[in-house]
Chain A
Amino acid sequence: MKKRDFVLMMADILEVDPTEILPGASMFDFPVYDSVCALTLMARLEDEAKVECSPDELASLKTIGDVEALVAKQIGFED
């Protein structure tokens, strides 16, 4: 997955400008991030990035950087 596509996907899910998708940003500081939004994240990671996200992994995603690390671990980022 291209880093740019990851940022755009996260921005779309979290309904913010792509400039707000920063590694240190807490998921819980995004107003739309709730249990339903977390499911949407899980679904889109599976569907668009082919990244399997278990319930435990989903619960451990506290920051944008955590999501990025999960993607990097499973499929890596293209240059």
Chain B
Amino acid sequence: MATAITGMNYCLPTDVLTNEELVGRFGEKALASIVKMAGIKERRVVHEGITASDLGTCAAKRFLEARGIGPSEIDLLVFASQTGDYQLPATACVIHQRLGLSQNCAAFDISLGCSAFPYAARVASTMVESGGFRKALVINAEAITTLIHPQDRGLVPLHGDAAVVSLIEPCAEGVGILWAELGTDGTGFEHLIIPASGARNPRSPQTRQEIIDESGIIRTQEHLFMNGPAVFHFSLHKVPEAIKAGLAKHEMSIEDFDLVLLHQANRTMVDMIYKALKVPMEKRFYFMENVGNTSGASSPLLLAEAWRQGLIKPGSMTLLTAFGVGLSWGVMAIRWPADLEPSRMEQVDYAQ
């Protein structure tokens, strides 16, 4: 049995953080260099008290309503995020309750960051392919800005928050998710990390002490840390290599695809990967300038926006790659069904 993404919807928080506001926080010169590199003008950030699951629930409710799908029809819910509501239970269970899903619906979380979408899609599609499930909701949601120290001028200008819902269902053979190759380099686990965030290094008054690094970046051990050079190097070398390996394994090439989508880490990095793969301009698509890097929500957000803008044509081919914290990556190939429905997405701003 084959499976396809048959619909998507996304939700953005309503607070807008502009570069003008960040000039006041970081100074014009410091901000200018990162803005030049990142190509991000503004980001959507959650208001205090709003969580990733709030955004995800909002997107899912609107999607089910627009498609006329009853809660009892959903038999699998996967919530992929690193900003869940609680350490336990799984946030999928909270969303299950909020959407009023059936007790016959399996619900669980996947804890991954930027690479989460190909992972979650492959897990859900494999479960549907097994014949045990018919309608799987995958929610990729992140409120990553809540994990970043407000004075971290390396990370604040890059990131935004978002949630995306995807519906995965059985489809005709030969279309849908053709393959998803997943990979990990655990030797890089410390390159993107919140050092004091779990059992290994419990939170304490000491972990709340501010640290100022040699570049003047401020954070605590309870905030997100990124080893920029290591992550940059990984992205520029491992990611093109993983894409080429995936294509070679399935005897495909960039020419087979109409659209090549990359995790929206920052504009410089995305362009360098495109260049390394010799992806023609007409196959490239960006969606970060007004939303920022939304971590695990980034690659499905890009896909949903491409769909919304009419760039996903029935019968066309899309190659999507996501990569980041872990270090982890996934490369996914999709052939869209000939009877693909239009996006039908209207409202994207969060509302309670």
**Interfacial residues, chain A to chain B (CB-CB below 8 A):** 31-32, 34-40, 42-43, 46-47, 52-55, 58-59
Contact = CB atoms under 8 A, between A and B. Distances in A.
B30 A40 contact: no
Given A36-B154, A42-B229, A55-B230, 17 more contacts: A32-B29, A35-B228, A36-B30, A37-B33, A38-B228, A39-B229, A39-B268, A40-B36, A43-B37, A43-B272, A46-B236, A47-B272, A47-B275, A54-B233, A55-B227, A55-B229, A59-B229
A39 B227 contact: no
A31 B33 CA distance: 12
Across chains A and B, which 4 residue pairs bring their CB atoms closest together, nearest first?
A: A55-B229, A35-B215, A34-B215, A55-B230
B232 interface: yes
B275 to A, nearest CB: 7
Contacts of A59: 229
B33 A40 contact: yes
Given A34-B216, A35-B154, A40 B227 contact: no
A61 B154 CA distance: 20
26 contacts: A32-B29, A32-B33, A34-B30, A34-B216, A35-B215, A35-B228, A36-B34, A36-B37, A36-B215, A36-B228, A37-B33, A38-B228, A39-B37, A39-B268, A40-B36, A42-B229, A42-B232, A42-B233, A43-B268, A43-B272, A46-B272, A47-B275, A53-B233, A54-B233, A55-B230, A55-B232
Contacts of B228: 35-36, 38-39
B277 interface: no
A36 B26 CA distance: 13
A59 B214 CA distance: 12
B35 to A, nearest CB: 10
Contacts of A39: 37, 228-229, 232, 268
Main secondary structure of the interface of B (DSSP, over half): helix
Interface string B310-345: 000000000000000000000000000000000000
B230 A36 contact: no
B236 A40 contact: no
Given A46-B236, A46-B272, A47-B275, A34 B229 contact: no
B217 interface: yes
Nearest to A32: B33
Interface of B: 29-30, 33-34, 36-37, 153-154, 213, 215-217, 227-230, 232-233, 236-237, 268-269, 272, 275
A27 B36 CA distance: 20
Contacts, number: 55
A35 B158 CA distance: 14
A48 to B, nearest CB: 11
Contacts of A58: 229
Contacts of B232: 39, 42-43, 55
Contacts of B229: 38-39, 42, 55, 58-59
Contacts of B29: 31-32
Contacts of B269: 43
B213 to A, nearest CB: 8
Contacts of A36: 30, 33-34, 37, 153-154, 215, 228
Contacts of A54: 233
A39 B36 CA distance: 12
Residue from A35, A47, A58, A59 having most chain B Cβ neighbours under 10 A: A35
A52 B37 CA distance: 18
A51 to B, nearest CB: 12
A52 to B, nearest CB: 8
A12 to B, nearest CB: 11
B268 to A, nearest CB: 5
